[in-house]
């Protein structure tokens, strides 16, 4: 039998206690899984600012997935600091290569400001000004390029030629539709580790979830047709709880979502009052 490498965790749970004959690549995946559990990543010393406990846990979770070779979906509620968690990750990985941030135009400025505030040792560039090709050619360790989704679409070929060490798609619902030029441009990007941040992994139908996972972990959910046959039709048309739980179990290692109520005790007093009043 053949399985996607990232299904190793779910399959290992199912086959626990059984005698299994497996190929070396599969055994290597299980070894990396074992190492991932023992990994205790330290926050980079150059990060300016204190992370709350849940934010530190988010950073460590992303670092473990990167060690495994898997992409991640950070789906925390709005206002819980997805940006600073991602910046801690980028800082930790910065010595090995360049990072690219994709974000809506209105959010790009926030990334530039937050990078200067929390990660001043990064060389932050806004893609679009100056010679774009020179900027991409020169990008290396400690370089962070912030690019709008609009420019991703118009400069798709140029951006796809660069290999990134870390790639973050912020408000990733912007690439949820597989048929759009924007989504196709995102899929062509090359990176060692891909992270999406979004408070809404699904807005309309499960096909959006498939597309986001096709970006961070290609092939894990199979083709869109197979995904619809195995999961979407049964869940959306028949409300099949067993199939829904099977899909959740497969995706659980790659999605981290905390709601405001989950971390209320860690929030500043003024935010507690705001959230409780809502």
Residue 276's pLDDT band (boundaries 50, 70, 90)?
Answer: very low
- Which class does domain 39-261+271-277 fall in? alpha beta
Using an 8 Å Cβ cutoff, are 216 and 73 in contact? yes
Both tokens of residue 67? 């060690």
User: Which of the two residues, 10 and 266, has the higher pLDDT score?
Assistant: 266
- Please compute the mean of the pLDDT values over residues 213-234 and round it to a whole number: 93
C-alpha distance from residue 218 to each of 89, 122, 214 (Å): 21, 29, 4
pLDDT digits (tens, 9 = 90+) for 96-108: 999 999 999 999 9
| Helix (H) and strand (E) counts in the chain | 14, 7
From CA 252, how far away is CA 263, in angstroms rounded? 19
pLDDT digits (tens, 9 = 90+) for 229-273: 999 999 999 998 999 999 998 899 999 999 888 887 776 654 444
pLDDT of residue 136: 97
Quick one: 37 exposed, middle or buried, by C-beta within 10 A (0-12, 13-18, 19+)? Answer: exposed
């Amino acid at each position: 039998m053949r399985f996607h490498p990232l299904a190793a965790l779910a399959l290992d749970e199912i086959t626990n206690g059984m005698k299994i004959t497996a190929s070396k690549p599969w055994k290597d995946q299980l070894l990396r899984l074992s190492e991932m559990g023992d990994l205790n990543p330290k926050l980079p010393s150059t990060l300016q600012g204190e992370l709350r406990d849940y934010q530190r846990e988010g950073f460590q979770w992303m670092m473990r997935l990167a060690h495994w070779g898997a992409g991640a979906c950070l789906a925390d509620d709005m206002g819980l600091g997805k940006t600073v968690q991602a910046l801690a990750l980028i800082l930790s990985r910065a010595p090995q290569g360049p990072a690219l941030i994709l974000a809506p135009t209105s959010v790009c400025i926030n990334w530039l400001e937050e990078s200067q505030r929390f990660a001043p040792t990064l060389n932050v560039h806004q893609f679009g000004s100056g010679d774009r090709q020179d900027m991409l050619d020169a990008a290396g360790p400690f370089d962070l390029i912030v690019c709008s989704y609009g420019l991703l679409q118009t400069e798709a070929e140029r951006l796809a030629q660069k290999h990134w060490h870390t790639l973050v798609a912020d408000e990733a619902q912007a690439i949820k539709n597989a048929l759009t030029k924007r989504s196709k441009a995102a899929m062509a990007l090359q990176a060692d580790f891909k992270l999406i941040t979004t408070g809404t992994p699904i807005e309309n139908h499960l096909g959006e979830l498939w597309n986001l996972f096709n970006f961070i972990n290609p092939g894990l959910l199979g083709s869109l047709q197979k995904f619809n046959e195995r999961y979407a039709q049964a869940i959306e048309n028949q409300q099949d709880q067993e199939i829904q739980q099977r899909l959740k179990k497969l995706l659980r290692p790659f999605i981290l979502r905390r709601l405001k109520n989950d971390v209320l005790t860690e929030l500043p007093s003024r935010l507690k009052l705001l959230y409780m009043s809502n």
